[in-house]
Amino acid sequence: MLNTTVWNRIRYTVYAPIYDMLANRAFRKPRRVALGHVDWEPGMRVLLVGAGTGLDLPFIPRELEIHLTDITPAMVKRASERAEKHQRDVVCRVMDAASLDYPDEHFDVVVMHLILAVMPCPAQGLSEAHRVLKPGGQLSVMDKFQPDTQPAGIGRRALNVLTSFIATDITRQVTPLLQQAGFHIRHDEPVLMNGLFRALLAAK
C-alpha cells in the first residue's frame, strides 16, 4: 500500500514550503463555492480537518469558534502563522483525521477539503466527522472524485498508482462514502476540471 498516514506526513512536510504556491490560486473559487453553501450562523463551532496551511480560513466568517487540525506539523505551523497574520483566533492542532480528539456532537460545521482523496481510509475520516458533528450539523467536502455513475476504469486505476503515491487518489466515489457514513447530501456541484473536482454539502 503506497498511501499511508506515515507517508502523507513525510510528503506534506516536504510539500509544506511550496503548498501555497500550488494550491492557493487554483482552489480559490472551489473553496469560495464550497464554503458559500454552508448556512453560517454567528457563534458556530467549526472544525477544519486536514486543513493544511489554512487556505480555507479567508472564506470562513469571523464570528465563529474555529478549530484547525492536520497530521503534518509543518502544515499546522503555517496555518497557525496564517491565522495570526489575518488576526483570526484559531485553535491549531496536530491530529489524525482518522481519530479526532474531540467529543461526540461537538461541532456545527466540519470542513474536509482536499483530504478525503488523500487519507488512506476516507470512510474512517467521515465516520469521525459524523461522530463529532451535532445532529443536523453540516459537512463541507471539496475534492477530486471518480463519477458516481461508474467505477474507475483500468486506465484510471493504473494512473492512480502514481497519483496516489505523489499526491492523491483519483478513483474514490464520494456519494457512497458519504451515505455509508450516515450523511445526507444537500448539494453537489462541479467546481474544477470538468467536474473532476466537486464541492458537496452534506448534513448529519
* Residues in touch with ligand SAM (CB under 6 A): 5, 8, 12, 23, 50-52, 55-56, 70-72, 75, 96-98, 113-115, 118-119
CB of 153 to ligand SAM, least distance (A): 24
What whole-number distance in Å separates Cα of residue 198 and Cα of residue 191? 5
Residues 42, 48, 53, 56: is their CA dihedral positive or negative?
A: negative
Which CB, 59 or 183, lies closer to ligand SAM? 59
Which C-beta is closer to ligand SAM: that of 44 or that of 112? 112
- Least Å distance between CB 113 and ligand SAM? 4
The minimum distance between CB 112 and ligand SAM, in angstroms, equals 8
Q: Contact, 145 vs 174, CB < 8 A?
A: yes
Which among 198, 177, 201, 176 is positioned nearest to 187, based on CA atoms? Answer: 201
CB of 147 to ligand SAM, least distance (A): 21
Residue 1 per-residue DSSP state:
-
For 43, 116, 117, 197, the CA distances from 126, given in Å and listed in that order, are 24, 8, 12, 18
Q: How far is the CB of 49 from ligand SAM (least distance, A)?
A: 6
Residue nearest to ligand SAM (CB): 52
Q: Which is nearer to ligand SAM, 25 or 151 (CB)?
A: 25
Give one DSSP letter per residue of 40-84, joined into a string: --TT-EEEESS-TT-TTGGGS-SSSEEEEEES-HHHHHHHHHHHH
Q: Which is nearer to ligand SAM, 114 or 177 (CB)?
A: 114
CB nearer to ligand SAM: pick between 97 and 136: 97
Q: Are strands 133-144 and 65-70 parallel, antiparallel or unpaired?
A: unpaired
